[in-house]
Structure 1
Amino acid sequence: MTLTYVLSGFAVGVLVGLTGVGGGSLMTPLLTLLFGVSPSVAVGTDLAFASVTKVAGTLTHKMRSTVEWRVVRLLCIGALPAALLATLFLKQFGALNKEIGLIIRYSIAGSVLLTVIALLFKARMVNWLNAHPEKQLQGFKLDLATVIAGATLGTLVTISSIGAGAIGATILVMLYPRMPAAHIAGTDIAYAVPLTAIAAIGHWWLGSINWELLGTLLIGSVPGITIGSLAARAVPEKLLRGILATTLTAVAAKLVL
């Protein structure tokens, strides 16, 4: 089973490197459906997994000056308190009980579907915003929308471990359509570090992290992400995203049914 976990971490790492989609959209459903890990433990373990892997990505983007730190601060103002409140909610109602596990399972399914929408329609959203510059937010309204987006993502990530990748990047593109793609990626990764760390600490407090499982996943994912990133330019992005969207839709349906 340990080898299976390592190989799974490697496979998810390759897909994340190839597509840029957050590992939570892939890892959490994989743990829940394929290995029978309870939804709450799958979420907690994946959050710890994400908090470790995103640190390296943030350092890389920082060295390349592709992080918009003001936007990171605004997102964190909303996301971090929301993560704490979501953790307290899980503590109050019992993160490991059957009913909350079912809610988490449906939350994972909903988050996966949001990821699919982000994958399929991000380009159309950007094109529409570029064609209608008068619809783009400015000044205080933009700052407030960024904080609200952070709060929404903070809640979503804490409950389902999904949202800080494709969904977060899509929201940033919609709010900041003129921001370069590399800066979108860097900013999305940077704000996710404190968010996933706080959410992971909360799940540690709740007792919903499997540390042995986390270690085996990391052993496979680190080389997987490296290989996927190196191979990304050789594989047509449109094809990959289509396959991934189809797979994730099937996963969401399986989680609900």
Structure 2
Amino acid sequence: MDWLLLVLLGLAAGTFGSLLGLGGGIIVVPALLVMSDVVPSFAGITPQTAVGTSLLIMIFTGMSSTISYTKQKVVDMKSGFIFLAGSGPGALFGVWLNKGMETNVFLIIFGLFMLFVAFVLFIRNRLKPLPVKRTSIKREYITELGEKQEYGFSLALGLSIAFAVGTLSGLFGIGGGSLMVPAMILLFGFPPHVAVATSMFMILFSSIISSISHISLGNVEWLYALALIPGAWFGASIGAAINKRLKSNTLIILLRFFLIIIAFRLIWQGIQGI
């Protein structure tokens, strides 16, 4: 039963993470923490092991998503590698912050962050690119209809945001796409599908960097990871396919409600432990 639960959790995380460019950790980490409180067999999970295990799973989510999105020709690899120069060091900084954080403090902060992500998902479709006067990096995307969409970003601002994204990844075990995708759309003018795909490309590499650090600290539950990986891999492919065709907001609405409910659950769990 525990294995089936983990496989289904991996499937949900991979699907939603790939679909929205979030990475899936925003589902895996809180789910593991809640299960540690209500399911006896998961009682040994700590914030550190939940984060470390989640980041390992996101390597496979990111890889599967990137393969699918690359076939769709919507990954901006040049921008992705530039952002990685900021998110890589940020990921290591996040791991360092996570190392000494107490469980109850982590639960409250992570719960508040989940509420923020839910809010971002609420305004996601309302995001419109701001006029950018200076863009040192200029890019363009040709749609399937042959239309050219131009976008770009300041190198300094792009690296700064990527560093913050990497920090969130190492600290909370999430992809950081909840911050990166809106920034790409709102500040840099990325087409939404390109923003999501490029975010997953970044998540692949930043997760590798963070995972190596967490593995060295002994923060990975390997048996849980083995159960989560297959579902996450297939879920990521499903999410990428849905992203290409999705017109309805049904899945996003469901995820938003999930995040809000679990966020309050984690905050309450953290407050009770103080």
Name the TM-score, length of structure 2 as normaliser: 0.78
Post-superposition offset of 1:2: 1.9
Q: CA deviation at 1:153?
A: 0.6
Q: Take 2:113 and 2:85, find their aligned partners in 1: how far apart are those partners?
A: 22
**1:83 maps to which residue?**
91
Residue type at the aligned position of 1:27: V
Deviation at 1:83, TM superposition (A): 1.5
Aligned AA (2:56): A
Cα distance, 1:56 vs structure 2: 2.2
> 5+ residue gaps in structure 1?
94-98
Secondary structure, aligned partner of 1:34: helix
The 3-state SS of whatever aligns with 1:115 is: helix
Amino acid at match of 2:73: S
Query: In the alignment, which residue of structure 2 is the partner of 1:138?
Result: 134
**Higher RCO (Cα < 8 Å, 6 or more apart):** 1
* Worse overlay, 101-110 or 157-166: 101-110
Matches within 5 A, 1:208-223: 208-223=219-234
Deviation at 1:70, TM superposition (A): 3.0
Cα RMSD between the aligned structures? 2.6
2:14 aligned with 1:23, yes or no?
no
Quote the residue 1:159 is aligned against: 171
Q: Residues 21 and 90 of structure 1: is their aligned pair in 2 closer, same or farther, counting only changes over 3 Å?
A: closer
Q: Is the CA contact 2:51–2:171 (under 8 Å) kept in the aligned structure 1?
A: yes
Match of 1:202 among 198, 204, 213: 213
The CA deviation string for residues 80-122 of structure 1, in whole angstroms up to 9 with x for no partner, is: 112222333445x3xxxxx533333234223312221221112
1:137, 1:106 → 2: CA distance? 39
Distance 1:65-1:8 versus aligned 2 partners, 3 A rule: closer
* Cα distance in 1 for residues equivalent to 2:16 and 2:83: 26
- When structure 1 is superposed on structure 2, of 179-188 and 199-208 the one drifting more is 179-188
Aligned to 1:104: 106
Among 51, 55, 59, the alignment partner of 1:47 is 55
1:169 is matched with 181
Letter in 1 for 2:84: C
CA contact (8 A) 1:14 1:226 kept: yes
Identity %: 23
In structure 2, stretches of 5+ residues that fail to align are 38-44, 137-152, 269-274
CA distance in 2, matches of 1:4, 1:66: 33
What count of residue pairs does the alignment treat as equivalent? Answer: 244
1-side partners of 2:98 and 2:19: how far apart? 34
Code of the residue aligned with 1:139 in structure 2: it is: T
Identify the structure with the greater strand proportion: 2
Q: Distance in 2 between matches of 1:88 and 1:31?
A: 21
TM-score (normalizing by structure 1): 0.83
Contact 2:97 2:171 in 1 (8 A): no
